Amino acid sequence: MNHIQKKKKKLYKDSDSIGLWERLKKFATAKPKKEKPIRPKTYRMRKLGAVTFWLLFSFMFLVVLVTITSESNSAQSTEEEQMEVSLNPATKPEAIQFAKGFARNYFTWKSDNEGWEDRQERLSRYLADGLDEQAGLITEGLEWNSSVQGVNLRQVDEITDRKAHIIFDVRMQMKKEKETETISKYFAVPVIFNGSSYGVYELPFITHVVEETDVEVDENRYQTTLTSVKDNSEVENIEGFLGTFFTSYVEDSEDQLSYILTDEDHRNGLNGAVEFVEVNNAEVYEGEQDNQFIVISEATFEEPNLNTAFRAVYKLVVEKRDNHYVVSKLNAEQQIEEMANE
């Protein structure tokens, strides 16, 4: 064997030795396959129990949530139904319109056979069965014709939970040949609601309504219920601000007015409809917060085209922001009344 052949044989042996060594090394360092742990049956049962518990808990939570929501909606519906039931249907706007229509037809007639037949037919839509077809009006010998000039609601007297007397001031023009008379009467219409429709259940009648009011002005109400601002300089500054405010309120555009009027419900002023003349007086009280004031002010305005002046009272909430004043509430009567009643 020559030298080259010996060298090749040696290389083959070395190569086989290296390959065998690498395979042994790889086998020795290879990680053993991790076997799946064997879990007892009790483990699987516990896991199944946990899943079942959470499923039942979620279901019960959903049931409770739906029940609470349904009960809340049901309670609200019941309350609304009770309010609807408690409101006498014979005093609702629909009943008033019904009675108003009857009053117009009652005082509209022509004093001849055709006119009485027409009136009888018109009233039949309103009168309960069994009532006089002319609703109590004695047509025999009546020579005057009648036409209605106006029907104005005066008051509603509740009789029962489904009956009411609805009283109107009816103005009519009476004519006979060349004579004309305009008269007015307080006219009561007895209205009932039977669950499906309105009707006049008794003969209507002439009545009397006292027009004069017995309401008295309590000029000292706020002085005894609200706290006056003691700082005279603050009061003087607010009084000076009122002149600026009312001038802007009657003259300026919405953008200009927004600097001193921040009330979201009243962004627009009077757009020059009148002119501001002067502030007659102002009462300044402490508000509910720091730097907030309740201002009750009387001011004079003028309609220049008619040369007519009038006074008006404004109840304002004024706030002091960064050393200047703004009106945060223009018509603040409700807020002031709540404070006065506390």
Q: In this predicted model, what pLDDT tens digit does every residue of 5-40 receive, in sequence order? A: 544 455 444 545 455 555 545 554 555 555 555 555
CA distance 158 to 89: 10
Structure tokens given for 133: 């077809």
Among 207, 229, 257, the domain-final residue is: 207
> CB of 191 within 8 A of CB of 95?
yes
Asked if residue 197 is part of any domain, the answer here is yes
Q: What is the pLDDT of residue 60?
A: 75
196 and 274 inside one domain: no
Amino acid at 204: P
Average pLDDT, the chain: 85
Asked if residue 322 is part of any domain, the answer here is yes
> 49-58, 131-140, 168-177, 248-257: which range is least confident on average?
49-58
- For the chain, how many structural domains are there in total? 2
Q: Across the strands, what pairs with 228?
A: 285
Asked if residue 22 is part of any domain, the answer here is no
Please, which pLDDT band fits residue 45 given cuts at 50, 70 and 90? low
Residues in CB range of 133: below 8 A, 6 or more apart = 120, 123, 124, 127
**Angle of CA points 155, 157, 161, to nearest 5°:** 140
96 and 193 inside one domain: yes
> CB of 109 within 8 A of CB of 119?
yes
3 state SS of 302: strand
Asked if residue 8 is part of any domain, the answer here is no
CA distance 110 to 124: 17
Q: What is the pLDDT of residue 76?
A: 58
227 and 300 inside one domain: yes
Token pair 């508000």 in the structure block, residue:
287
H-assigned helices in the chain: 3-29, 41-86, 93-106, 113-123, 221-225, 232-251, 254-257, 333-341
Query: Among 143, 135, 209, which Cα is nearest to 181's?
Result: 143
200 and 237 inside one domain: no
Among 153, 179, 207, the domain-final residue is: 207
Asked if residue 324 is part of any domain, the answer here is yes
Q: pTM of the predicted model, to two decimals? A: 0.58
Output 261-268 pairs: Cβ under 8 A, ≥24 positions apart. 261/326, 261/327, 261/330, 262/326, 262/327, 262/328, 263/327, 263/328, 263/329, 263/330, 265/330, 266/330, 266/331
Asked if residue 137 is part of any domain, the answer here is yes
What's the rounded mean pLDDT across residues 261-266? Answer: 93
202 and 233 inside one domain: no
CA-based Rg of the chain, rounded to a whole angstrom?
Answer: 45
Structure tokens given for 303: 């309609």
201 and 228 inside one domain: no
3 state SS of 239: helix
186 and 226 inside one domain: no
User: 26: how many CB neighbours lie within 10 A of its CB?
Assistant: 9
Q: Is the pLDDT at 75 greater than 70, yes or no?
A: no
Q: What is the pLDDT of residue 217?
A: 85
178 and 239 inside one domain: no
188 and 261 inside one domain: no
Q: What is the pLDDT of residue 118?
A: 98
Over residues 155-213, the pLDDT tens digits come to 999 999 999 999 999 999 999 999 999 999 999 999 999 999 999 999 999 999 988 88
CA distance 36 to 62: 38
307 and 252 inside one domain: yes
Asked if residue 294 is part of any domain, the answer here is yes
Segments forming the whole domain that contains residue 188: 91-207
Q: Is the pLDDT at 74 greater than 70, yes or no?
A: no
What CATH number did the domain enclosing 106 receive? 3.10.450.540
What's the rounded mean pLDDT across residues 285-310? Answer: 94
Q: Is the pLDDT at 93 greater than 90, yes or no?
A: yes
3 state SS of 2: coil
> CB of 162 within 8 A of CB of 193?
yes
Asked if residue 149 is part of any domain, the answer here is yes
Q: What is the pLDDT of residue 7?
A: 47
337 and 295 inside one domain: yes
> CB of 105 within 8 A of CB of 126?
yes
Over residues 113-167, the pLDDT tens digits come to 999 999 999 999 999 999 999 999 999 999 999 999 999 999 999 999 999 999 9
181 and 258 inside one domain: no
Token pair 């408690």 in the structure block, residue:
86
User: 244: how many CB neighbours lie within 10 A of its CB?
Assistant: 12
Q: What is the pLDDT of residue 12?
A: 46
Among 165, 184, 207, the domain-final residue is: 207
